[in-house]
């Protein structure tokens, strides 16, 4: 059975220091929860850069290509004579190509972010804690999953109290 050790900290400052401490002790798959992103937390947790940019680049290029090809195909497949202009009038295709590129990029940004964050995810054992409801208002939490290498409940409990955790609880996941 999995469990999560959840600790609350008083403010962003203490949470940041706690994350630094855990990283220094070699833990890597813990997570922190806060009502807003905390500046410097990614470095404290030693997170790698987000991969989202690459996903957006793919979506953007695809939109650019598809948008342009679509117009080229349709203008040649159903040729309309407009003021004697060539059927393949590529300068006239630029606005629509641009719009389709932006559309594809925006979709890949949003759905790429969902995929990287594994959202939607309506079930998570951490929601079992009533205490954790504060995390979206004014609570600053740190959670360690028992899958973490070298997870030792008592040792971590001591470590967390040493670094000023306000409230520590264990959440059991029975799924």
Partner 1 sequence: MVASTNDIVKVKRPDLVLPGETFESVTNIVSKPMEMKLPSWWLIVFLVSISGVLLLKSMIAYLIWEGIGVWGLNNPVGWGYAIVNFVFWVGIGHAGTLISAILFLFRQKWRTGINRFAEAMTIFAVICALIFPGIHIGRQWVAYWLFPIPNSMGMWPNFKSPLLWDVFAVGTYFTVSLLFWFVGLIPDLATMRDRAKGKIRQMVYGIFSLGWRGSNRHWQNYEKAYLFLAALATPLVLSVHSIVSFDFAVSQLPGWHTTIFPPYFVAGAIFSGFAMVVTLMVLARQLFNLKALVTIGHLERMNKIILLTGMLVGYAYGMEFFMAWYSGYQYETFAFVNRATGPYAWAYWIMVSCNVISPQLFWFKKCRTSIPIMFVVSIFVNIGMWFERFVITVTSLHRDFLPSSWGYYSPTWVDVCTFIGSFGLFFTLFLLFLRFLPVISIAEIKNVMPQADPHHGEEH
Other CB atoms within a 10 A radius of the CB of residue 126 amount to: 17
DSSP-derived letter for residue 39 is T
The least distance separating partner 1 from the CB of residue 172, rounded to whole angstroms, comes to 17
Q: What share of the chain is helix, strand, coil (3-state, %, to 5)?
A: 50, 15, 35
The least distance separating partner 1 from the CB of residue 120, rounded to whole angstroms, comes to 4
154 scored as a contact of partner 1 (CB under 8 A):
no
175 scored as a contact of partner 1 (CB under 8 A):
no
DSSP string, 110-132: HHHHHHHHT------GGGG-SGG
174 scored as a contact of partner 1 (CB under 8 A):
no
Cα–Cα distance between 158 and 113 in angstroms, integer? 36
Binding-site member from 138, 150, 174, 175 for partner 1 (CB under 8 A): 138
Buried b (16+ CB within 10 A) or exposed e, 69-81: eebbeebeeeeee
Least Cα distance to 32 among 165, 121, 155, 123 occurs for 165
Residues 62-101 that bind partner 1 (CB under 8 A): 70-71, 74-75, 77-78, 80, 82, 85, 89, 92-93, 95-96, 98-100
105 scored as a contact of partner 1 (CB under 8 A):
yes
Least Cα distance to 6 among 130, 126, 158 occurs for 126
Alpha helix segments (H runs only) across 25-89: 41-44, 52-77
Nearer to partner 1 by Cβ, of 107 and 155: the residue is 107
Binding mask 14-53 for partner 1 (x = CB under 8 A): -xx--x-----------xxxxxxxxxxxx--x-x--x-xx
Binding-site member from 11, 28, 147, 161 for partner 1 (CB under 8 A): 11
Q: Kindly list the residues in this chain that would bind partner 1 in the complex (CB under 8 A).
A: 11-13, 15-16, 19, 31-42, 45, 47, 50, 52-53, 56, 70-71, 74-75, 77-78, 80, 82, 85, 89, 92-93, 95-96, 98-100, 102-103, 105-107, 109-110, 112-114, 116-117, 119-124, 126-127, 132-138
């Amino acid at each position: 059975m999995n469990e999560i050790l959840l600790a609350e900290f008083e403010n962003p400052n203490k949470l940041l220091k706690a994350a630094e401490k855990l990283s220094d002790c070699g833990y890597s798959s813990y997570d922190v929860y806060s009502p807003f992103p905390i500046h410097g937390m990614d470095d404290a947790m030693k997170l790698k850069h987000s991969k989202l940019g690459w996903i957006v680049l793919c979506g953007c290029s695809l939109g650019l290509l598809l948008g342009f090809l679509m117009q080229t195909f349709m203008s040649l497949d159903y040729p309309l004579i407009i003021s004697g202009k060539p059927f393949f009038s590529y300068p006239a295709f630029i606005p629509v190509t641009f719009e389709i590129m932006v559309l594809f990029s925006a979709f890949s940004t949003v759905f790429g972010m969902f995929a990287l964050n594994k959202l939607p995810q309506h079930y998570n054992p951490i929601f079992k804690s009533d205490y954790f409801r504060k995390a979206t208002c004014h609570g600053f939490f740190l959670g360690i999953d028992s899958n973490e290498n070298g997870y030792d409940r008592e040792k971590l409990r001591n470590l967390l109290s040493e670094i000023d955790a306000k409230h520590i609880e264990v959440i059991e996941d029975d799924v």
